[in-house]
Structure 1
Amino acid sequence: MNSPFHPGEQAIQSRIGVREQVESMGSRMIRDHMPEQHREFFAQLPWMLVGSLDSDGQPQASVLWGKPGFAHSPEPSLLRINARPEADDPLTANLHGAVRLGLLGLELPTRRRNRLNGPLVDSDREGFTVAAQQSFGNCPKYIQARDWHWEARPAGPLEQGNGLDQRWLGLVERSDTLFIASQHLDPQTGGVDISHRGGTPGFARLGEDGRLWLPDYSGNQMFNTLGNLLLEPRCGLLWVDFNSGDLLHLEARAEILWPDQTGSGELPDLPGAERLVALTPGRWRLRRSRLPLSFDSPRPSPFLPQGH
């Protein structure tokens, strides 16, 4: 029987001794269709996180929005998104042909999240449709719960550049949430993922080496993102400013470091981290005042490491 996990995921599962246990779990959890509760869940959301690939194979992380129901499932194997990205969203250039996409539905008030990965099967002026290749739920750990409200905003300017920049570093240093898009390259079983990462404000820290250091806490042990990064270090990051609606899209290259590799005093001290992911910043876009949602103060995750 074919495994639901690719060699990168399997390698990390084996390294920490959960390979057999997670294989059994993944075979039950990962489906080629959405159960009814997932179909209903997506239709309740005001936003959708989207992972895509550009023409060079660089992953990009984006967010789309609309009144609840803008994402809906006409049948268990399809998810329709009635929204189009703005012209300066990196997703705009990537919606063509049978490209693979990763979708993440995240309901912040309840900490629920479900994922759907698969190929683009239709795209028109109103939106696009994705076929379910992998459909599965994720645990709510490390999500900061927030209530949301619609807030009309005049769109701000686009700023862009390459590498570490003070124009966006402040957002990163005060954020408790980010999204990361990654990929597995296999032409038959590969695809794009987008996943959530959370912690206390500033959990992604700037190291002395100019890289952003991201803690990796204990999770569902499937290692979808880390398995991708082990084989293909390029990733796309998205930070959302929950106050201003600013959206930061950052391309990066990731290196996974394990406890036996992190004895140097130059590395950030990130309590509770079982591994660290070092991110070398590349090209970036800062799209000011774009997300037409406002959010109340966060209710911190009860799973956050003590002392972090």
Structure 2
Amino acid sequence: MAYHSGSRAVQDRVGVRELADHVGRSIGDGLRPVAAAFLELQPMLVLGAAEPDSGRVWASLVTGEPGFVRATGPRQISVAGVPRAGDPLAAALAVAETPVGTIALDPRTRRRMRLNGRARPTARGLAVDADQVFSNCPKYLQKRESYETVRRTPGEPLRGSELGAGQQEFVRAADTFFLATVHDHGADASHRGGNPGFVHVDGPSELSWRDYPGNSMFLTLGNLTADPRAGLLFLDWETGAALQLSGTARTEFGPDGTRTVRFTVEAVVHTPGASPLSWSPPEYSPVNPPLP
């Protein structure tokens, strides 16, 4: 079954259960050749999971030369690398059978693929045994024509419990972020995009964003219905800085059919130069809704 009770509750509230059942047929448990080929072209992979001790949920980035992520079987991928030292998910991914969500996103082609399963450490990095594999449409995904790999030494992670003034500006300038969520039987990592300013900073510990219409599966909002823990990852696509946030999120349903997600920040990790990738300026998705 592709959906648990949280996703079903949101689908029923929005009135899209029949459509969700149709779209859900695209969720498989194996990697087709086209998916395997896509993975081997990517220089980055986003992972979402929960820390074993605190239970906090985080989204983290792993990078490498194309081919560092590859299919090693019909239901398994190998990742030649792990989150950098000091990353909040480093401990979680050192434990076998950790539920993990992954998303490979290619700004050059506006394609993305998600694989959810269970991770275990290997001599080269990680192996992930797949439970769910599926692709998403290119909606709200900004196009970046190219990237270069830059020699960078990641700065010392800056940790806190709320957003400083510079970090608030980081969020306001974002056109993309990644969102990690969990449920009783697994984890998920997804993408959110829009024109800069689509994420609102409502205070040092409060963010919000419109939930734009998508594929009607409501995997992310369904997870938040079942478990409010969430992790956000914002990237500076030019300098490689990473802003990771952990906290809780809830969805507000408006009488006009709109949905707003409100996120409460509980922990912050801000790492200058976390990624060696420097991407070209974005071409914003033509379907990004205008900001109010």
Which TM-score band (shorter chain)? over 0.9
What one-letter code is carried by the residue in structure 1 that aligns with 2:111?
R
Distance 1:54 1:4 in 2: 25
Secondary structure of 1:116's counterpart equals strand
Q: For the structure 1 residues 57 and 209, does the alpha-carbon distance in structure 2 shift closer, same or farther, using more than 3 Å as the test?
A: closer
Q: How does 1:13-32 map to 2 (within 5 A)?
A: 13-26=11-24, 28-32=25-29
Q: Which residue is equivalent to 2:37? A: 40
For residues 37-90 of structure 1, what are the alpha-carbon distances to aligned partners after superposition, in whole Å with 9 as ceiling and x for unaligned? Answer: 111101100000001111133211000000000000011110000012211111
Secondary structure of 1:91's counterpart equals coil
Q: Which residue is equivalent to 2:160? A: 161
What one-letter code is carried by the residue in structure 2 that aligns with 1:193?
D
Q: How does 1:184-203 map to 2 (within 5 A)?
A: 184-185=183-184, 190-203=185-198
Q: How does 1:1-308 map to 2 (within 5 A)?
A: 3-26=1-24, 28-55=25-52, 56-95=54-93, 96-120=95-119, 122-146=120-144, 147-185=146-184, 190-207=185-202, 211-260=206-255, 274-307=258-291
Are the aligned partners of 1:84 and 1:125 in contact in 2 as well (CA < 8 Å)? no
Residue range with higher mean Cα deviation, 219-228 or 146-155 = 146-155
What one-letter code is carried by the residue in structure 2 that aligns with 1:8?
G
Gaps of 5+ in 1: 263-272
What one-letter code is carried by the residue in structure 1 that aligns with 2:72?
P
Distance 1:282 1:212 in 2: 12
Aligned-pair identity (%): 36
Are the aligned partners of 2:168 and 2:204 in contact in 1 as well (CA < 8 Å)? no
Compute the displacement of 1:210 (Å): 5.2
For residues 190-248 of structure 1, what are the alpha-carbon distances to aligned partners after superposition, in whole Å with 9 as ceiling and x for unaligned? Answer: 21001000011121111269521111100001011100011111101100011211111
Distance 2:238 2:206 in 1: 26
Secondary structure of 1:207's counterpart equals strand
Distance 1:165 1:209 in 2: 7
Gaps of 5+ in 2: none
Distance 1:274 1:31 in 2: 30
What one-letter code is carried by the residue in structure 1 that aligns with 2:196?
P
What one-letter code is carried by the residue in structure 1 that aligns with 2:80?
N
Distance 1:60 1:125 in 2: 23
Q: Which residue is equivalent to 1:270? A: none
Are the aligned partners of 1:235 and 1:254 in contact in 2 as well (CA < 8 Å)? yes
For residues 170-207 of structure 1, what are the alpha-carbon distances to aligned partners after superposition, in whole Å with 9 as ceiling and x for unaligned? Answer: 1101111100100111xxxx210010000111211112
Q: For the structure 1 residues 155 and 192, does the alpha-carbon distance in structure 2 shift closer, same or farther, using more than 3 Å as the test?
A: same
TM superposition score normalised by structure 2: 0.95
Compute the displacement of 1:307 (Å): 4.8
Distance 1:232 1:8 in 2: 9
What one-letter code is carried by the residue in structure 2 that aligns with 1:281?
V
Are the aligned partners of 1:39 and 1:76 in contact in 2 as well (CA < 8 Å)? no
Are the aligned partners of 2:164 and 2:204 in contact in 1 as well (CA < 8 Å)? no
What one-letter code is carried by the residue in structure 2 that aligns with 1:297?
P
Distance 1:173 1:129 in 2: 35
Q: For the structure 1 residues 208 and 43, does the alpha-carbon distance in structure 2 shift closer, same or farther, using more than 3 Å as the test?
A: closer
Distance 1:237 1:219 in 2: 19
Aligned residues: 289
Question: What's the RMSD between the two structures over aligned residues?
Answer: 1.6
Greater strand content: 2
Secondary structure of 1:104's counterpart equals strand
Distance 2:199 2:164 in 1: 15
Compute the displacement of 1:25 (Å): 2.4
Are the aligned partners of 2:162 and 2:204 in contact in 1 as well (CA < 8 Å)? no
* Displacement over 3 Å in runs of 4+: none
Secondary structure of 1:125's counterpart equals coil
What one-letter code is carried by the residue in structure 2 that aligns with 1:205?
H
For residues 73-131 of structure 1, what are the alpha-carbon distances to aligned partners after superposition, in whole Å with 9 as ceiling and x for unaligned? Answer: 011110000012211111211011211111101011111000000012x4123211001
TM superposition score normalised by structure 1: 0.90
